[in-house]
Chain A
Amino acid sequence: MPRSPLPGFRLALGLTLAYLGVIVLLPLAALVLETRGMGAARFIAVVTGDRALAAFRITVLAALAATALNAILGLALAWALVRYEFPGKRLLDALVDVPFALPTAVAGVALTALFAGNGWYGSVLEPLGVKVAYAPLGIVVAMAFTSLPFVVRSVQPVLQDLTGDYEEAAETLGAGPWRIFRSVLFPEIFPAFLAGCSLAFARSLGEFGAVIFIAGNQPFRTEIAALLVFIRLEEYDYQTAAAIATVLLAAAFLMLLVTNAIQLWRLRYGRPS
């Protein structure tokens, strides 16, 4: 690929790196370096302790479930908002941003009020044997709520930008709708979709405010990793807290790295030019 003829590369990259350095990397470096005094052996002991492992497990599983839910719901929402006209569409469009705007604690309180045994949803669900509040399912709901906008808002602009040309061409060639979606449309929105999913997942891994209200926070059952970090902080055990946070950070970073690599690869080789 030839070097781009556009100007501003040094300025844009310089600004990006400088800002990223001060605002993001400096504090995160401070966090990671906080663990330096503890030694590798203790670091490993801390992050592979039974309770830490249980917390990692429930956090990752719940985040996966929430992301899967958001992948489907988010795609459907983006599709409906871009392609269809229906009453209340604008309201729905605006509602999508609500989970980001609400403080997570408020979201947690409201969700707990809904799903508790005496709440609007809970009073219907619990007699059916579905326990959401103070159970692992509650963690999934809280994570799904707080990360819902990611998939929708990532896919929406790209979908909006797709003209009907491809589809029309494909249809002329006799392809059915499902086939067109699969082999023409989906590849186009895939990078954005993947980005949305990976962000939703990353956000879910770190979510704290909403989850602690609804989870019940019982060790080994509904205690998430971010809460464990919080607990260690409250003990002034900064090193242990930083160690667990570092593991979460590394996991999220790796995942973001992989999805970005996939996206770049697709951009370079995967799309028709």
Chain B
Amino acid sequence: MPASFARRTVLALSLLGLTTAPAWADGPDTILNVSYDIGRELYGAINKQFSADQKAKDGRDVTVNQSHAGTSKQARAVLEGLEADVVTFNQELDVQLLADKGALVSPDWKSKFPNNASPYYSLPAFVVRSGNPKNVKNWDDLVRDDVKVVFPNPKTSGNARYTYLAAYAFALKQNGGDEAKADAFVKKLLSNVPVFDTGGRGSTTTFVERGIGDVLVTFEAETAAVKKEYGADKVDVVVPPLSLLAEFPVAVVDKVVDRRGSRALATEYLNYLYSPKGQEIIASFNNRVQDPKIMEANKDRFPNVELLTVDEVFGGWKKASETHFASGGKLDQVFVGR
């Protein structure tokens, strides 16, 4: 049975493969960027400009295909064979997974590009109803009894993991590092959430179109998009005085580019993110960038925030994940205690 059945499977699959391969056979002028969910507009703009610049530079027609979804799902897909030449994620754990489990990216991926391989950053910020009727200014307003908060499930959304960790970090700082008090703080925060969507954009819809909740917590980069999309008469943006640094790590997927012979183009693409032109596009989508000149030019967009980091507060992503997000971790416990 196994032999004949394997043969049949392969036969059927190769037939399917043969009949369809020409339709989307990729030349080396095409690379695939597998990315996080809400990076779609940003990378749409970057890819367009990158292609135009490549064409102007040496007449090459370069296409960058995009795939966007929750990063955990994306990392899983790459691990299982999705042929990503580069990954651009919203937290380092998912890149690290590719290094640890599939040896798809080199273990020292963080040193391959400047600034821990993170060309830009953002932070969790708030979207409130127009005029901020509940007067929400800071994280401790989110645990008030009269405030309902909307953000996705931290288990399924990288965006919400930052929200959770930022709230936790805030509480630790407020209470001089008292973990029990921080636990209680996030427990109260989670109990103020009436709806947990699975991704960031889902929560935005719930907040704006369904009219649920008083505060939406999401990346600062996304808060501007929400405001632009729905108008200042509906929502306002509040950036809390203290938040958590959210880095957006990038990596070349070595195994794939070596097989496809696309390393040069993939590397050039990621370097482009660090170029002045790339940084300018990135900043125009309300991400904070490293280039000081561009930050200066956009400073009214980016209020001063005291940024804590996962490394300082939680001892790195690996530890934060084990303590908080793993099955049976702190997040499960505070959820369970509701």
The yes or no answer to B197 lying at the interface (CB within 8 A) is yes
Chain B residues with CB below 8 A from A6, complex form? none
CA distance A113 to B8 in the complex (A): 46
**Residue total for B at the interface (Cβ-Cβ under 8 A):** 30
User: Contact: A232 with B195, CB < 8 Å?
Assistant: no
* A 111-143 binary contact with B (CB < 8 Å = 1; else 0): 011001111000000000000011000000000
Query: Is B227 close to A, CB under 8 A?
Result: no
Chain A contacts of B156 at CB under 8 A?
230-231, 234
Interface: A216 (CB within 8 A): yes
Q: Which of A217, A227, A234 contacts B195 (CB 8 A)?
A: A217
Of B207-215, B249-257, B270-278, the one with at least 4 CB within 8 A of chain A: B207-215
Instruction: Report chain B residues within 8 Å CB of A235.
Output: 72, 155, 325-327
Given contacts A22-B9, A216-B195, contact A51 B211 (CB under 8 A): no
Contacts of A51 in B (CB 8 A): 332, 335-336
Q: Which residues of B contact A230 (CB under 8 A)?
A: 156, 198
Are A22 and B76 in touch, CB under 8 angstroms?
Answer: no
User: 1/0 per residue A82-116: CB within 8 Å of B?
Assistant: 00000000000000000000000000010011001
Q: Does A233 count as interface, using CB distance less than 8 angstroms?
A: yes
Contacts A212-B197, A219-B338, A230-B156; is A236 near B97 (CB within 8 Å)? yes
- Mask of A218-242 contacts with B, CB within 8 angstroms, 1/0: 1110000001001111111100100
Q: What per-residue 1/0 map shows which CB atoms of A45-57 lie under 8 Å from chain B?
A: 0000011000000
Tell me if B70 and A217 are in contact (CB < 8 A): no
Main secondary structure on chain B at its contact with chain A? loop
With a cutoff of 8 Å between Cβ atoms, the chain B residues found around residue A220 in the complex are: 336, 338
A18 to B70, CA, bound (A): 36
Q: Are B196 and A21 in contact (CB under 8 A)?
A: no
Residues of A contacting B336 in the complex (Cβ-Cβ under 8 angstroms):
50-51, 219-220
Q: Which residue of B lies closest to A54 (CB)?
A: B336
B166 shortest CB reach to chain A, Å:
20
Query: A216 with B194: in contact, given A21-B5, A50-B336 (CB under 8 Å)?
Result: yes
B110 interface contact, C-beta 8 A: no
Complex Cα–Cα for A216 and B72 (A): 21
* B73 engages A234 (CB within 8 Å): yes
Smallest Cβ distance from A121 to chain B, in angstroms? 13
Contact assessment for A236 and B76 in the assembled complex, using a CB-CB cutoff below 8 Å:
yes
- Which of B73, B202, B211, B335 has a CB less than 8 Å from the CB of A117? B211
Minimum CB distance partner of A239 in chain B: B327
Within 8 A of A (CB), among B305-338: 325-327, 332, 335-336, 338
Q: Quick one: which of B8, B72, B195 has the most chain A CB within 10 A?
A: B195
Query: Is B47 in the interface zone, CB < 8 Å from A?
Result: no
Which of chain B's residues have a CB closer than 8 A to the CB of A231? 153, 155-156
Contact B9 A134 (CB under 8 A): no
When each residue 94-106 of chain B gets 1 if its CB lies under 8 Å from chain A and 0 otherwise, what string results? Answer: 0001000000000
Would you call A219 and B335 a contact (CB within 8 A)?
Answer: yes
> Closest approach, in angstroms, between the C-beta of A10 and any C-beta of chain B?
16
- Name the residue on A nearest B328 (C-beta): A49
Given A21-B5, A235-B326, A236-B72; A116-B211 close (CB under 8 Å): yes
Least CB separation from B191: chain A residue: A218
Inside 8 A of B73's CB, which chain A residues have their CB? 234
Q: Which residues of A contact B194 (CB under 8 A)?
A: 134, 216, 218
A213: CB under 8 A from chain B?
yes
Chain B nearest CB: distance from A250 CB in Å? 21
Interface centre among B5, B211, B327 (most CB of A within 10 A): B327
CB distance from B74 to the nearest CB of A (A): 11
Closest beta carbon of chain B to A154's beta carbon, Å = 31
A233 CA / B327 CA spacing, docked (Å): 11
Least Cβ distance of B29 to chain A in Å?
33
C-alpha spacing A86/B327, complex, angstroms: 56
Residues from chain A with Cβ under 8 Å of B9 in the complex: 22
B80 CB, nearest partner CB in chain A, Å = 11
Q: How far is the CB of A105 from chain B (nearest CB, A)?
A: 10
**Contact yes or no, B70 A234, CB < 8 A:** yes
Task: Let me know if B212 and A22 touch, CB within 8 A.
Answer: no
Q: For window 77-114 of chain B, which residues contact chain A by CB distance below 8 Å?
A: 97
Proximity bits, B287-312, A CB within 8 Å = 1, else 0: 00000000000000000000000000
Is there an interface contact between B198 and A212, defined as CB atoms closer than 8 Å? yes
Residue contact A213 to B5, C-beta cutoff 8 Å: no
Top 5 A-B pairs ranked by shortest CB distance? A116-B210, A217-B196, A231-B155, A234-B72, A216-B195
Q: List 18 A-B contacts (CB under 8 A).
A: A18-B5, A18-B8, A22-B8, A113-B209, A116-B211, A117-B210, A117-B212, A134-B194, A134-B195, A213-B202, A219-B336, A220-B336, A230-B156, A231-B156, A234-B73, A234-B156, A237-B326, A237-B327
Q: A18-B8, A134-B194, A232-B327 are in contact. List 17 more A-B contacts (CB 8 A).
A: A21-B5, A22-B5, A109-B205, A113-B210, A116-B210, A117-B212, A118-B210, A134-B195, A213-B197, A213-B202, A217-B153, A220-B336, A230-B198, A234-B73, A235-B325, A236-B76, A240-B327
Give me the interface of A with B, judged by CB distance under 8 Å.
Answer: 18, 21-22, 50-51, 109, 112-113, 116-119, 133-134, 212-213, 216-220, 227, 230-237, 240
